[in-house]
């Protein structure tokens, strides 16, 4: 597919609303491959679509961690949610892309229902989490706390801190989330 290579001119002619078997658009393929120039050419015609999991090109760029690609997409797809209710910010935080998350937090911090401790815990910013322990028991739209999010992402030091303050808040221990 042309979006997998950096052929911005050709892509602009072929791009509108074409998808592969996983419902990936040309814009999503360009985001996967960090082709910011191609994205700048086609984003106005091909944004806001979700793949088979509801992930947009911005979410894919957030997972890939490419800031240039992210900047080309952010104004078009900020605040959109995948099939699980997650935004690009949640995707970036879960894989630990700090720079991407810092940029996205300006645009999306309220869209997914995550609290600041949830984001900082996912990024394993233990100092920031310890400053926000008053918000420790809050839940996102899927019922997860900062401890659950942190345990699922294997963030050891932050898990230890949060277990002292919210262990068992959902009836499950942090250990169960680590191994599930």
Fold of 113-180: 1.25.40
Pick from 81-85, 164-168, 172-176 the range whose average pLDDT is largest: 81-85
Which neighbouring-strand residues pair with 19?
A: 25
Provide the pLDDT for residue 58: 97
| Residue-range domain boundaries for the chain | 1-109, 113-180
**pLDDT tens digit string along 61-88?**
999 999 999 999 999 999 999 998 889 9
Single pTM value for the model:
0.68
Mean of pLDDT values over 23-40: 90
Could you give the CA distance from residue 130 to residue 127 in angstroms, rounded to a whole number? 5
List all residues 6 or more positions away from 51 whose beta carbon is below 8 Å from its beta carbon: 22, 23, 24, 25, 28, 60
Higher-pLDDT residue of 112 and 45 is 45
- Tell me the CATH class for 1-109: mainly alpha
């Amino acid at each position: 597919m042309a979006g997998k290579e950096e052929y911005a001119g050709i892509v602009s002619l072929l791009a509108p609303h074409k998808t592969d078997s996983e419902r990936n658009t040309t814009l999503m393929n360009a985001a996967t491959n960090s082709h910011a120039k191609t994205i700048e050419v086609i984003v106005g015609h091909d944004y806001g679509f979700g793949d088979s999991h509801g992930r947009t090109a911005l979410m894919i760029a957030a997972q890939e961690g490419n800031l240039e690609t992210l900047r080309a997409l952010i104004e078009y797809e900020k605040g959109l949610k995948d099939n699980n209710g997650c935004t690009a910010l949640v995707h970036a935080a879960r894989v630990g892309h700090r720079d991407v998350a810092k940029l996205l937090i300006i645009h999306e911090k309220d869209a997914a229902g995550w609290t600041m401790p949830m984001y900082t815990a996912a990024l394993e910013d233990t100092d920031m989490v310890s400053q926000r322990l008053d918000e420790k028991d809050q839940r996102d739209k899927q019922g997860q706390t900062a401890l659950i999010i942190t345990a699922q992402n294997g963030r050891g030091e932050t898990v230890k801190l949060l277990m002292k303050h919210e262990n068992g808040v959902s009836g499950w221990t942090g250990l169960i989330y680590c191994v599930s």
